[in-house]
Amino acid sequence: MRPLEGITVVTLEHAIAAPFATRQLADLGARVVKVERPKVGDFARGYDETVLGLASHFVWVNRSKESMTLNLKHPRAKEIMARLLQGADVFVQNLAPGAADRLGLGTDELLERYPRLIVCNISGYGNSGPYRDKKAYDLLIQSEAGLLSVTGTPDTPCKAGISIADIAAGMYAYCGILSALYSREKTGKGASVEVSMLEALSEWMGYPLYYSHYGGSPPRRTGAAHATIFPYGPFLSGDGKQVMLGLQNEREWAVFCEQVLMRPELKNDPRFESNSKRVANAEELTAIIHEVFGTLSAQQVVARLDAAAIANARINDMEEVWGHQQLAARNRWRQVPSPVGPIQALLPPFSISGFEARMDAIPDLGEHTDLVLTGIGYSEEDIVQLRTENVI
C-alpha cells in the first residue's frame, strides 16, 4: 500500500509549480483530480508537441492524474466544486492572484466549510505585500530572487536552464501538504499551506545572500566554474573535450598536484597554498592545468582523477543523460501510458522500502470527466445536460 492511498487531491493548476507538487502526491498513491478548462485545459498542454505530439512540460508533471473539464465561471460549477471538495483531503491552486477568491474558493471560506481540508495556495509573491498582485513567471522570479546576478559569465547574466523557481515552489508545496496531512492525523483539523515562488527561490539563494551581505561583495559570475572555490569547474583536455572536476580541501589539493598534475612542487607554491590564493590566481593555475591536461585525452584525465579519488564528471548533453549508464544500471526508467502511446518516465528520485511509486497514465484533456462526476453523484442524464450547457 502506498503512503497516500485513500487521499484525494482536487487541483486547479497550470504550468509547473502546482502540477509538480501534485504529481509527487500522485507518485505516493494519492488520487489527484485535475480540473481543467473545457477545450483548452492547462495551458502547459500547448507549450510544444515534442513528445509524440504532447508537450514535454505536461508529460513530465502530470502522470497518474485524472483530468476533468469544468467551466469555473458557469453558475453550475460552484455546486460541482462543492461536491468535489466535500470528499477531498487536499485542495491546491496556482491561479492568477485573487482568482480563487473571486470563484468562492478562498482559504478562509474553504476551511470554514470543510474543516479537515488542506488548502494549498501557490503564488508568485505571496498573499500580501506590495507585489501580491504582480504576475510571476519562472524567469521573472529568477530575476527578482537574484539568481541571474550570480549565474552566467562576467559579461552576461544567464537564467537557469530549467524552471527552477517553479520547481522550488512545487517542492515546498509538496512538503507543506505532507506536513499538514501529518498534523491533521494528530489534531483532526485541516490547515492552509501558503507557498510563494519568490520565497522558495530566495531560500535556495541562501549561500550567495549570506556571502554577499556579510562579505561585502556578491559572488562573481564565473560561467560553469565555482565562484569561490578553485579549481572547481570545467577544464579542457587534449582531445578538445571538457572534464568537470572539483577540489574541496587542502588534502585534495596536495593529491591533485602529486597524482593528477604530476607536479608535487605546486602544493607548496605560495601562489596556490590556500583556496583563497588559488581563487585569486585562478588564471595562472588554469594555464598550468591546461598545460598538463593538453597532453591527455579526456578519458586519460578522468582515469587520473578517479585513481586519485578526485571528484569529477562528464558534461553530458540531454541524450547522454537519457542513456546514462547509472540510471540504467539502477533500473530507474519505466513506461507510462499516454493518449499517444507508451512514454518513458523516470521513477521519482526517492525510494521507500515496501512499495514502488505509482507510475500511471498521462491524462488526455477531460478524459475522466464522466468518471469523476459519476463518483460525486451525477447521473448519466445529468452529465449530458452539463455538457449541453457547456458546464463541462
Is 290 annotated in the active site?
no
If you ran DSSP here, which 8-state letter would residue 363 be given?
A: P
Give the 3-state DSSP-derived string for the chain, with helices as H, strands as E and coil as C. Answer: CCCCCCCEEEEECCCCHHHHHHHHHHHCCCEEEEEECCCCCCHHHHCCCCECCECHHHHHHCCCEEEEECCCCCCCHHHHHHHHHHCCCEEEECCCCCHHHHCCCCHHHHHHHCCCCEEEEEECCCCCCCCCCCCCCHHHHHHHCCHHHHCECCCCECCCCCCHHHHHHHHHHHHHHHHHHHHHHHHCCCEEEEEEHHHHHHHHCHHHHHHHHHHCCCCCCCCCCCCCCCCEEEEECCCCCEEEEECCCHHHHHHHHHHHCCCHHHHHCCCCCCHHHHHHCHHHHHHHHHHHHCCCCHHHHHHHHHHCCCEEEECCCHHHHHCCHHHHHCCCEEEECCCCCCEEEECCCCCCCCCCCCCCCCCCCCCCHHHHHHHCCCCHHHHHHHHHCCCC
| Per annotation, catalytic residue among 57, 226, 324, 368 | 226
Question: Computed over its alpha carbons, how large is the radius of gyration of the chain?
Answer: 26
Cell of 112: 470554514
**Amino acid in position 223:** G
The residues that are catalytic are 226
